[in-house]
Structure 1
């Protein structure tokens, strides 16, 4: 049952960018709609679970949610420059690298020689996978230019938000169930602040409430899978969702890629997943 829950997480999170692109709208309406969906879901969950929430949980959760919005808002913006097939695997690899770096340097998660060796190999594999997914086709005029440079800069900002969203909760040792509602509140407020200049209140924001519910479903199933199969397996399985969004970007959204690029993207995704699994082995 635990593995099934973790796979549901992978399917939900791996489908978010793909679904949002199919639903339409720009990064502003997509972000706002997603935060509204997450807030609605968290309110319902709160009245079912009744978690204990104090002032520290409220503050940390809200900041975590606001940082998540930064990550998601600019990931959507990156898609406009790099496409889904390139953005998602790169984003996944950079998030794994960033959270692992904090885990090692700040939380001292790698304590044995075996963990250090596996962890270093995992990081190298992830970086290699990210490089494979970002290979451009020089013969494709649409595959390069200033948009790529801008896209990579935006993706760095997105990654910083995602990493901060995870690290701050762990730093203050806030439980998952307790953090859900404060995080969603922070997501919604942050979403309003980051999108108000783009006139996000439209039909596309309403449509993208579905992506917020999709994200929240993945978040809940991950929390439920942790005590059943452990952090290592849950964490690793949750990363496999990039296959859905990456291949979906190529074959469903019809993003233009040469055969050579498709092969490299698939290899890159497999390497990032392998690195994620290896990183999972270092977590206790």
Structure 2
């Protein structure tokens, strides 16, 4: 139960990130720089509070995990330019869930029974159907179709980064409290390397430190949930908060289009959430 609650903490905070960062403003460079700065501040506070032992392995894995995350988050912010928040959030979630579930099932052997396999496959069907519903709209012009393709390619890169960030911690069984500071450093280093040419040192980067603190709260919840309920379950539950960013994009960021498109996006979100919940049951 504790693991599920920790994963749901990540769901609420992470579900707000794309929406909050867009309300705070800035392009993807200033957003990722500010987010990682906020995450590092949070990590330092957590380290001073818990003072965990940090071995060379923890430092190495944590920093690399943070680098992977910075690639994932920057490209998720970048995908919003092509797709908007309402499409980016559910599509990104669907891709991440498929990727992390693959590792959880085939690498970490987290589905042990016939029932868990059946439920898990049903969950993946829901997730894929939901992602397709949120991304495919009939009658789109050539320009919008090209934007969709570009956004999808950016999301694939984002997904690879996110999967690497989660799987590395689980692979080496790194304690969540110990991972936070090395991850935070890796995130900042990755953000600086990816944005140094554009020098996004502006008010929007400063504002987005709030996004970083919000993300870090969910990250700690996920890291603590991983050893309790596994990758497939914890990460899946953590992603069900996409309804927050999707509804935020539709109704508060002026992304609403036709009623038909709105209902398709909402139905897609519902299917992804159902898939995430079903994946949670596979742990039982």
**TM-score interval, normalised by the smaller of the two chains:** over 0.9
Instruction: Answer yes or no: is the 8 Å Cα contact 1:135–1:261 preserved in 2.
Output: no
- The whole-number CA distance in structure 1 between the counterparts of 2:9 and 2:117 is 30
Specify whether residues 135 and 277 from structure 1 end up closer, same or farther in structure 2 by C-alpha distance, changes over 3 A only. Answer: same
Cα offset for 1:65?
A: 0.4
Residue in 2 aligned with 1:40?
41
How many residue pairs get aligned? The number is 282
Q: Deviations over 1:30-69 (max 9, x none)?
A: 0000000000110011010111110000000000000000
- Residue 277 of structure 1 pairs with residue 274 of structure 2: no
Residue in 2 aligned with 1:207?
207
- The whole-number CA distance in structure 1 between the counterparts of 2:280 and 2:24 is 33
- The whole-number CA distance in structure 2 between the counterparts of 1:87 and 1:280 is 23
Cα offset for 1:76?
A: 0.2
TM-score (norm 1): 0.92
Q: Deviations over 1:92-132 (max 9, x none)?
A: 11101000111222222222111111111111111011111
Residue in 2 aligned with 1:184?
184
Residue in 2 aligned with 1:151?
151
Cα offset for 1:240?
A: 2.5
TM-score (norm 2): 0.92
Residue in 2 aligned with 1:92?
93
More moved, 97-106 vs 181-190:
97-106
More moved, 79-88 vs 166-175:
166-175
Corresponding residue SS for 1:144? helix
Residue in 1 aligned with 2:60?
59
Residue in 1 aligned with 2:195?
195
- The whole-number CA distance in structure 2 between the counterparts of 1:74 and 1:278 is 28
Corresponding residue SS for 1:11? helix
Cα offset for 1:219?
A: 2.2
Structure 1: tracts of 5 or more residues without a match = none
Specify whether residues 235 and 107 from structure 1 end up closer, same or farther in structure 2 by C-alpha distance, changes over 3 A only. Answer: closer
Specify whether residues 159 and 234 from structure 1 end up closer, same or farther in structure 2 by C-alpha distance, changes over 3 A only. Answer: closer
More moved, 8-17 vs 232-241:
232-241
